[in-house]
Amino acid sequence: MANFLPVEEQMLILMRGVDFGDELTYQNMEKELRARLQESYTANRPLKVYCGFDPSSPDLTLGHTIPMRKLRQFQELGHEVTFLIGTFTGTVGDASDKESVRKQQTLQEALAKGASYADQAFRILDRAQTAVRYNHEWLSQLSFGDVIQLASNFTVQQFLTRDNFSKRFAKGDAIWLHEFFYALMQGYDALALQTDVQIGGTEQLFNLMAGRKLMEAKGMKPQIILTFPILVGTDGVMRMSKSTGNYIGINEPPGVVYTKVLNLPDTAMRNYAELVTRWDPREISAVFDKVAKGELEMRDFKHKLAWEIVSIFNGDVAAERAAEDARKMHEGEAPSDTPTFTLAAHQPKNIIDLLHEAGIVKSKGEAKRLIQQGGIRSDGQTLGDIEHVITLNKDAQSVLQIGKRKFLRVIAG
């Protein structure tokens, strides 16, 4: 038997961060969730909660972790959580935040990319309490007649009111029929899982509402939806995405994550603080008040934020090491995870050949350009000669800095 917290205590936890961009929708969903939780509490029955993730790339990003952390909260409150990998929806791609058609992929490609999703998800979710499902299990079994029946619940006008489609329609850009089917497929996931609650981003509101509509059409109690704001990417403007390259991956080395956070635009700081930290809203407001008053430098706040994010996924020790490495790099010193290259003692080697053999540059031409542009430093001294050679005595070493963030430790072997 479950031992649920009182409904109002659960509501305080579960509604934190929820945003629909519409006050009426917020009020309706809040009311429905409270009623469903009361039913759950009275019957001592956990709610069925899920979130779907399309495997458009092999890695999960910080953006993915926002709904995942809400799933974890539901778990900790005793509810049943499903981590759904969109192996079938991923062959079409969600058009919710796109003003152009997504490139399609095969089911085999989606399966290959999704293979690592579950293991990465367990860095946040409780492995023992998480059901992992793949939506090709049911979507690939639908007949053409089934699809027609699903489509009969919607009008073309409903789809054309969506912001991304309306913009493309106004510009005369193509809107493909298969893009309409995405909302039907995601809606069908709710039917297949017989869910109580679905979690997603604010850009997916239409798709989540489609699930409610299909459930009602089948005589089922419609799912409650909880949506959350979008995490901007490292450019501070566009949504975080592997496809645009503006991402921070949760599997990236701690030092890489720390450095990427330090280089975020100042305008993105509040977005990250509110969506990807463990900080209380009052603590966040207090910190930004200090920044506004000049009592805290933004650079110092970024270090605090970077430490917090690395700590969440890698622990405090890794966060401390990443912070120290960031300090070293700022002062031109090599971080702790600097790769090494062994050079035979007393055997001179041209700097261009060394960099290329070490794999630090893609080509000798790139190494030559970096030297000519003053982008290579050896033990703190800028190199300007492409004929420069490195020679080390026995047991000696030298540190090369390539650009701002790459280092190579050369040791005598």
- Residue 257 and residue 61 in contact, taking contact as beta carbons nearer than 8 Å: no
Domain 7-228 sits in CATH at 3.40.50.620
Instruction: Say whether 24 sits in a helix, a strand or coil.
Output: helix
CA distance linking residue 301 with residue 296, whole number of Å = 7
Res. 380 pLDDT band, cuts 50 70 90? confident
Helix H or strand E segment including 49: strand 48-53
Highest CATH level, class, for 340-412: alpha beta
Segment 249-268 shows an average pLDDT of 91
Which pLDDT belongs to residue 95? Answer: 60
Which pLDDT belongs to residue 99? Answer: 47
Which pLDDT belongs to residue 37? Answer: 97
CA distance linking residue 73 with residue 67, whole number of Å = 10
Domain 254-330 sits in CATH at 1.10.240.10
Tokens of 159: 């789809």
pLDDT of 337 over the 90 cut: no
**CA 169 from centre of chain:** 30
Per-residue model confidence as pLDDT tens digits over 155-198? 888 888 877 788 888 888 888 888 888 899 999 999 999 999 99
Amino acid occupying residue 224: I
What integer best gives the mean pLDDT of the chain?
89
Per-residue model confidence as pLDDT tens digits over 203-242? 889 899 999 999 999 999 999 999 999 899 999 988 898 7
Segment 362-391 shows an average pLDDT of 89
Domains 7-228 and 254-330 are alike in CATH topology: no
Segment 306-311 shows an average pLDDT of 96
Distances (CA, A) of 69 to 72, 130, 208: 5, 13, 19
CA distance linking residue 16 with residue 277, whole number of Å = 13
Which pLDDT belongs to residue 330? Answer: 75
Residue 245 sits at the vertex; the CA angle it makes with 242 and 247, to the nearest 5 degrees, is 65
Res. 66 pLDDT band, cuts 50 70 90? very high
Which pLDDT belongs to residue 1? Answer: 45
| Spatial CA neighbour of 403 closest among 348, 337, 355 | 355
Q: Supply the pTM of this predicted model.
A: 0.77
- Residue 150 and residue 188 in contact, taking contact as beta carbons nearer than 8 Å: yes
Which pLDDT belongs to residue 14? Answer: 94
* Segments making up each domain of the chain, as ranges: 7-228, 254-330, 340-412
pLDDT of 244 over the 90 cut: no
Amino acid occupying residue 172: G
Tokens of 97: 């935040």
pLDDT of 256 over the 50 cut: yes
Determine what percent of the chain is predicted with pLDDT higher than 90: 55
Determine what percent of the chain is predicted with pLDDT higher than 70: 97
Per-residue model confidence as pLDDT tens digits over 97-145? 454 445 678 888 888 888 888 888 998 999 999 999 999 999 999 999 9
Tokens of 235: 């450019």
Which pLDDT belongs to residue 2? Answer: 62
